[in-house]
Amino acid sequence: MNHIEIAPNIYWVGYVDWDVRNFHGYRTQRGTSYNAYLIVDEKVALIDAVKPGKGRSLLEHIAEVIDPKKIAYIISNHTEPDHSGEIQKVLDQAPQAVVVASEKGKIGLQKYYPGNWNFQVVKTGDSIHLGKHLLQFINTPMLHWPDSMFTYLPAQKLLFSMDAFGQHYATSGRFDTQVDMDVLMAEAKTYYANIIMHLGSIVSKTLKQAQSLEIETICPSHGVIWTEHRSRILSAYQGWAEFRARPKILVIYDSMWHSTEQMADVLADAACAAGAEVKVLKLDVNDLTSLVTEVLDAAAVAVGSPTLNSNMMPTVAAFLTYLKGLKSKGKLGVAFGSYGWSGGAVEQAAECLQQAGLEMFGETISCQYRPDEETLRKCRLLGTQLAEQVIKKTK
């Protein structure tokens, strides 16, 4: 993709990564982009760099607009290497450039890239005049790293929001008005669930801060720029940060010889018959990225596992480990499953669900070898009661 002027004298100069499918474990089914922005004024500023290996493209895009030697400031809104990986390559062209970062950002950049960079540390309230453009900085610690910050241009009502409001979405359109909104919102939701879900209270606080800013354009570090639909993403973030749930029950399981599968089906059918929205998701055909996206607006998660060598199935353990780190709130949990001669998986699943912040609902159900009529009756009853509870809770 070529550079593009997104506002007078402000350019997108990043890299669209059409091929990436695994972003540190996140399944990026539509690729991504590493956005960098160039502000051309009496002094020239580059907002963020790109992932290691994509610097040639960044420099080519910059050179289409100005001589890269003219860059006076490299603003590092976020230290993670997908946005800082090629700062050195820019500095090789513009060695006089000052790297602007938060205090934690400077520490992180020095650890990643030992060198003799000329830093300027900024904090909320600090600003830099480029000429006609004023850059204001807002620390947003832990959204999603300690170093994170926003850069805001008050005159242009434009926010460089680093990862916040981003999407892993490779597209030839640079703006929300140029892409399919359903796809865009789905990718924004997936991004939020996998990267930001565990930071709900910090997101709410940051959204309150953002309310004091006039914002017409939001330029994230991944995906497309929000213009016409900016209020839609801001409102979606508010709902996600509050863990607003639908009357949706997820039945997530794995199975060895169909016993846990049968329990999952019976529980799901009963919950569905009682009026809940139900999704049955087997772990060997659903990736973790899409599973936790489903968790974001679910009211309950029922997890089923057979016992394998006195433990949960590894697929179930992996899902629950991932879920635990994402610290969802306000959801109900259910655990069920089967075993052969020694149990353990169901109790372990229940413990993991509790550690992940879910409130356990009803009793765990486990059966030896095959679920008998009594076991299936319990699954049916639990499905019905769980549905009644989530419908009541989400009214």
Query: Shortest distance, CB of residue 384 to ligand FEO, whole angstroms?
Result: 42
Interface residues with ligand FEO (CB under 6 A) are 78, 80, 82-83, 144, 163, 221-222
Query: Shortest distance, CB of residue 20 to ligand FEO, whole angstroms?
Result: 12
Q: Which of 48, 80, 176, 254 is catalytic?
A: 80
Query: Which residue number, 164 or 210, has a Cβ lying nearer to ligand FEO?
Result: 164
Give the angle 17-18-20 at the CA atoms, nearest 5°. 70
Q: Is 133 a catalytic residue?
A: no
Residue given tokens 């009026």 in the structure block: 275
Query: Which residue number, 82 or 261, has a Cβ lying nearer to ligand FEO?
Result: 82
Query: Which residue number, 33 or 156, has a Cβ lying nearer to ligand FEO?
Result: 33
Query: Which residue number, 98 or 162, has a Cβ lying nearer to ligand FEO?
Result: 162
Query: Which residue number, 18 or 369, has a Cβ lying nearer to ligand FEO?
Result: 18
Q: Which of 11, 169, 191, 253 is catalytic?
A: 191
Q: Which of 17, 82, 86, 176 is catalytic?
A: 82
Q: How far apart are CA 199 and CA 253, in angstroms?
A: 26
Q: Which of 144, 168, 198, 229 is catalytic?
A: 144
Query: Which residue number, 192 or 336, has a Cβ lying nearer to ligand FEO?
Result: 192
Q: Which of 168, 198, 222, 229 is catalytic?
A: 222
Query: Shortest distance, CB of residue 142 to ligand FEO, whole angstroms?
Result: 11
Query: Shortest distance, CB of residue 161 to ligand FEO, whole angstroms?
Result: 11
Please answer whether residues 4 and 12 qualify as being in contact, where contact means their C-beta atoms are separated by less than 8 angstroms: yes
Q: Is 3 a catalytic residue?
A: no
Q: Is 258 a catalytic residue?
A: no
Q: Is 191 a catalytic residue?
A: yes
Query: Shortest distance, CB of residue 70 to ligand FEO, whole angstroms?
Result: 26
Q: How far apart are CA 294 and CA 249, in angstroms?
A: 10
Amino acid at residue number 290 = S
Query: Which residue number, 198 or 378, has a Cβ lying nearer to ligand FEO?
Result: 198
Please provide the distance, in angstroms rounded to a whole number, between the alpha carbons at the two ends of the chain. Answer: 46
Please answer whether residues 191 and 162 qualify as being in contact, where contact means their C-beta atoms are separated by less than 8 angstroms: no
Query: Which residue number, 221 or 315, has a Cβ lying nearer to ligand FEO?
Result: 221
Residue among 128, 120, 117 nearest 89 (CA): 117
Which residue of this chain has its Cβ atom nearest to ligand FEO in the complex? 80
Amino acid at residue number 213 = L
Please answer whether residues 227 and 175 qualify as being in contact, where contact means their C-beta atoms are separated by less than 8 angstroms: yes
Pairing of strands 149-153, 158-162: antiparallel
Q: Is 229 a catalytic residue?
A: no
Query: Shortest distance, CB of residue 80 to ligand FEO, whole angstroms?
Result: 4
Q: How far apart are CA 242 and CA 244, in angstroms?
A: 5
Q: Is 228 a catalytic residue?
A: no
Query: Shortest distance, CB of residue 83 to ligand FEO, whole angstroms?
Result: 6
Query: Shortest distance, CB of residue 194 to ligand FEO, whole angstroms?
Result: 11
Q: Which of 24, 182, 284, 373 is catalytic?
A: 24
What residues act catalytically? 24, 78, 80, 82, 144, 163, 191, 222
